[in-house]
């Protein structure tokens, strides 16, 4: 049995980064740039106005005040998109709208609020400096420079920047297809009749959702019975995927055959069993260069093992550099029992109070209890050294959802879980 850090290292050292593809920028959200993006022109391409007002020569109005106004003569207009062709001379002004190109001869903009207009006369009651309210050519981006580097994760701002630079397509790393196989004689799929003693195969769906959330493409290989033949056939079918993920059948029960059938289809085992709870009976190996993850069948064990091993691997394949979820420090709101010898990942809620974050177990930590995953904001990382982690102690928590806020106002939680709880502030 190896520890979780060592297991992650062994997984990641075997994971290849996929090839590149060229896609439309609107398909690039969440993808990773496979090539630098360079500017083919300056942005903005010309000096332009940051305000609605008048372009002028700054020496003309530098000393203007309400008691000493300066009058300029209006000679034209420069709108965003429609240039003024002439030159601004001494004592002259051209009306400019925000984004309008600054005409030749002008070197400042006086904003409309600092002027009074009467026909062709523009009375200025404030001074300006050289360059006031001018966005200079190339101030955002210089032609020829690298604006976004290979390895950059593409979000909405990056898409806007790439569009600004005039590129409609970008080179990104490919996304892996992940074959997902559930195993177990007790499993029925959603469209099959349910009877007592059966279990709805939820792993195919939770794992597919995790694959999609990571940005990869799930491919269901269905449900295999606990028979070597059925498992072999479906795994053989799964070889068209880039990654294979199975769930169930990797423990030491009589019908846990997945390790053996994976070996039959050519998997070289890199490790089996990780010193963690939940998720101990995990097997990892490769078929050729294809990574194969045999996850335990318990729904939460499967999801938590996916988080620790499969997600970082998929992110690496897609060119990401940040492979792990954010970890924060929190204090325990209650004692948390553990067993020495295995690292515990305890599903927890996070509650922020007076600038401090408290972690509270979601209740039952049974590996089958999916509800505890639904309620969880994160996983407490409890090192394998103690049998109880006392209330008030500092722990690290891996966040499971980057999008969920830390402050929860659900009355369910504050009522039910804090009913017999002492004042949190006094525990600090």
User: Where on the chain is the footprint of ligand AMP (CB under 6 A)?
Assistant: 182, 184, 186-187, 199, 201-204, 247-249, 251, 253, 296-299, 368
Q: Give the H/E segment covering residue 291.
A: strand 290-295
CB under 8 Å, gap of 24 or more: what pairs does 338-342 form?
338/382, 338/384, 338/386, 338/387, 338/388, 338/389, 339/277, 339/387, 340/384, 340/385, 340/386, 340/387, 341/275, 341/384, 342/275, 342/276, 342/277, 342/280, 342/384
Structure tokens at 285: 């190996």
What is the rounded CA–CA span in Å between residue 310 and residue 15?
Answer: 10
Please tell me whether residue 114 adopts helix, strand or coil conformation. helix
Task: Give me the least distance between CB of 258 and ligand AMP, in Å please.
Answer: 8
CA distance 95 to 103: 10
Nearer to ligand AMP, 75 or 188 (CB): 188
Q: Between 100 and 184, name the residue whose CB sits nearer to Mg ion.
A: 184
Residues that bind Mg ion (CB under 5 A): 184, 248-249, 297
Of the pair 20, 220, the CB lying nearest Mg ion is at 220
The residue among 28 and 208 lying less far from ligand AMP, judged by its C-beta, is 208
Q: Which is nearer to ligand AMP, 201 or 243 (CB)?
A: 201
What does 179 interact with, of ligand AMP, Mg ion, none (CB < 5 to 8 A by kind)? none
Contact present, 262 and 292 (Cβ < 8 Å): yes
Q: From the list Mg ion, ligand AMP, none, which binds 251 (C-beta under 5 to 8 Å, kind-based)? A: ligand AMP
Least distance from Mg ion to the Cβ atom of residue 183, Å:
6
Q: Which of ligand AMP, Mg ion, none does residue 218 bind to, with CB < 5 to 8 Å depending on kind? A: none
Contact indicator for 197, 175 with CB cutoff of 8 Å: no
Which residue, 112 or 369, is less far from Mg ion as judged by CB? 369
Using alpha carbons only, give the angle 273, 277, 278 rounded to the nearest 5 degrees. 90
Radius of gyration of the chain (CA): 31
- Given Mg ion, ligand AMP, none, residue 176, with its beta carbon under 5 to 8 Å by kind, binds none
Residue pointed to by tokens 């590149």:
20
Shortest separation between residue 290's beta carbon and Mg ion, angstroms: 23
């Amino acid at each position: 049995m190896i520890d979780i850090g060592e297991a992650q290292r062994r997984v990641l050292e075997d994971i290849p980064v996929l090839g590149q593809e060229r896609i439309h920028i609107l398909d690039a959200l969440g993808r990773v740039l496979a090539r630098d993006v360079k500017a083919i022109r300056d942005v903005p391409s010309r000096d332009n106005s940051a305000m609605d007002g008048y372009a002028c020569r700054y020496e003309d109005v530098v000393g203007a005040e309400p008691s000493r106004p300066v009058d300029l003569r209006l000679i034209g207009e420069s709108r965003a998109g429609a240039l003024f062709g002439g030159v601004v001379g001494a004592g002259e002004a051209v009306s400019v709208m925000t984004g309008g190109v600054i005409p030749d001869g002008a070197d400042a903009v006086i904003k409309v609020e600092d002027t009074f207009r009467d026909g062709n006369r523009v009375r200025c009651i404030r001074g300006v400096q050289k360059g006031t309210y001018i966005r200079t050519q190339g101030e955002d981006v210089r032609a020829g420079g690298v604006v976004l580097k290979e390895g950059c994760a593409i979000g909405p701002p990056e898409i806007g920047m790439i569009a600004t630079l005039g590129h409609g397509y970008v080179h990104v790393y490919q996304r892996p297809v992940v074959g997902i196989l559930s195993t177990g004689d007790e499993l029925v799929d959603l469209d099959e009749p349910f009877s007592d003693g059966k279990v709805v195969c939820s792993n195919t769906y939770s794992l597919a959702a995790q694959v999609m959330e990571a940005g990869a493409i799930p491919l269901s290989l269905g449900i295999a019975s606990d028979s070597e033949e059925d498992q072999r056939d479906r795994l053989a079918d799964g070889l068209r995927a880039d990654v294979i993920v199975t769930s169930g059948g990797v423990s030491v029960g009589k019908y846990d055959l997945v390790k053996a059938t994976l070996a039959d289809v050519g998997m070289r085992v890199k490790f089996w069993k990780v010193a963690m709870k939940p998720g101990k009976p995990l097997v990892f190996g490769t078929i050729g260069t294809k990574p194969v993850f045999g996850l335990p069948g318990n729904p939460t064990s499967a999801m938590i093992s996916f988080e620790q091993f499969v997600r970082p691997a998929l992110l690496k394949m897609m060119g990401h550099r940040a492979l792990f979820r954010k970890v924060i420090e929190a204090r325990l709101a209650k004692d948390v029992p553990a067993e020495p010898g295995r690292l515990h990942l305890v599903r927890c809620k996070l509650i922020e109070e007076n600038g401090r974050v408290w972690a509270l177990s979601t209740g039952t930590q049974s590996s089958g209890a999916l509800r505890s995953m639904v309620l969880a904001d994160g996983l407490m990382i409890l090192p394998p050294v103690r049998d109880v982690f006392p209330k008030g102690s500092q722990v690290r928590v891996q966040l499971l959802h980057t999008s969920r806020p830390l402050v929860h106002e659900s009355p369910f939680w504050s009522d039910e879980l804090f009913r017999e709880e002492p004042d949190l502030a006094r525990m600090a």
